[in-house]
Amino acid sequence: MCRQRLFTTLLVCLTGLSFIFSEPVNHSIDDTLGDSATGQRPIYLPVTGVWKDNTCTSCSLRPPTPSAFKGTYTSATYYPYLKNISITFEFTGTAIYIFFVLANAPPPGVGATTAVNFTLDGSIMGTFNHSPNRSAPAFQFNESALVFSQTGLENISHQMVISTAGNEQIFVDFDYALYTCAFSLTYYVGILN
Ligand SMILES: *[C@@H]1O[C@H](CO)[C@@H](O)[C@H](O)[C@H]1NC(C)=O
Ligand SMILES: *[C@@H]1O[C@H](CO)[C@@H](O)[C@H](O)[C@H]1NC(C)=O
Ligand SMILES: *[C@@H]1O[C@H](CO)[C@@H](O)[C@H](O)[C@H]1NC(C)=O
Ligand SMILES: *[C@@H]1O[C@H](CO)[C@@H](O)[C@H](O)[C@H]1NC(C)=O
Ligand SMILES: *[C@@H]1O[C@H](CO)[C@@H](O)[C@H](O)[C@H]1NC(C)=O
Ligand SMILES: *[C@@H]1O[C@H](CO)[C@@H](O)[C@H](O)[C@H]1NC(C)=O
């Protein structure tokens, strides 16, 4: 859903001309709280046993919660026996940006490589890979963990599927996505005294 923010920018009384337009705005899709406009939450597969939220105390990798968007994230460790894990959400807008939490300082023996594919409206549109980087902070958030972006989309409803398959152990930690609601412009021409 694309809820618009309206601005009356100019009201020229002499001519009775008024412009009302809505600027493009970003809405967020939080891993836990869902879409800031509709409340719709992402779907995590498999449904049980694999995906954990930031309250997980038994997880080997525990990024600091206050550094995450809205203080939440949802993570999983993929093992080959799982075959495929995924996150699915929908949005209506013209651009999409996806932010993960990336790990750089795993305890010995803990896998922290991140690898995912991005399938937009049924087509693979991108892939992302990150190996722990000892020169970087222990965890990366926000702009330094932007894993996918796509602009110039048609202003319709889109489906994003983020998935991991294959033969490696992989760490996936979804924090949030932003999507851009399209610009629209309306002119009102009225007669004022
Ligand atoms: C939406 O967020 C992205 C990523 O942070 C940013 O590059 C873009 O300028 C934002 N768009 C709007 C309309 O605020
Ligand atoms: C990431 O952004 C959120 C919300 O904008 C902020 O609360 C958090 O502190 C940021 N994290 C880092 C590590 O900058
Ligand atoms: C993984 O699951 C997603 C969601 O069901 C699907 O779109 C994707 O094609 C699957 N990938 C593989 C390699 O099976
Ligand atoms: C590792 O992190 C450092 C510091 O942030 C950065 O300069 C470097 O490019 C990173 N290396 C890779 C391979 O991403
Ligand atoms: C991404 O998709 C390609 C092609 O289907 C596949 O070979 C690769 O294993 C996938 N990567 C992940 C991390 O699932
Ligand atoms: C984009 O779609 C939304 C939701 O359908 C609509 O409110 C908005 O006016 C549209 N913007 C443009 C430029 O067509």
Q: What is the best residue among 135, 143, 146 to mutate for testing ligand 4's pocket, by most ligand atoms within 8 Å of CB?
A: 135
- If you measure from the C-alpha of residue 84 to the centroid of ligand 3, how many angstroms do you get, rounded to a whole number? 6
> In this structure, what are the phi and psi dihedrals at residue 54, rounded to the nearest 5 degrees?
-70, 0
State if residue 26 touches ligand 2 by the CB under 6 angstroms criterion.
no
- Supply the residue whose CA is at minimum distance from atom 14 of ligand 2: 67
Instruction: State pLDDT tens for residues 34-73.
Output: 999 999 999 999 999 999 999 999 999 999 999 999 999 9
- The reported pTM is 0.89
pLDDT the model gives residue 13: 44
Of all residues in the chain, the percent with pLDDT exceeding 70 is 83
Contact residues for 20 (Cβ-Cβ < 8 A; gap 6+)? 6, 7, 8, 9, 186, 187, 188
- If you measure from the C-alpha of residue 26 to the centroid of ligand 1, how many angstroms do you get, rounded to a whole number? 6
Q: How many Cα atoms are found within 13 Å in the side-chain-facing hemisphere of 138?
A: 8
Rounded to an integer, the average pLDDT of 93-105 is 98
Residue 9 has pLDDT above 90, yes or no: no
CB-based contact 170:128 (threshold 8 Å): no
Of all residues in the chain, the percent with pLDDT exceeding 90 is 82
> Domains plus CATH for the chain?
25-181 (2.60.120.260)
Counting Cβ atoms within 10 Å, is residue 179 exposed (0-12), middle (13-18) or buried (19+)? buried
pLDDT the model gives residue 103: 98
- Ligand 6 atom closest to residue 156's alpha carbon, by position in its atom list: 2
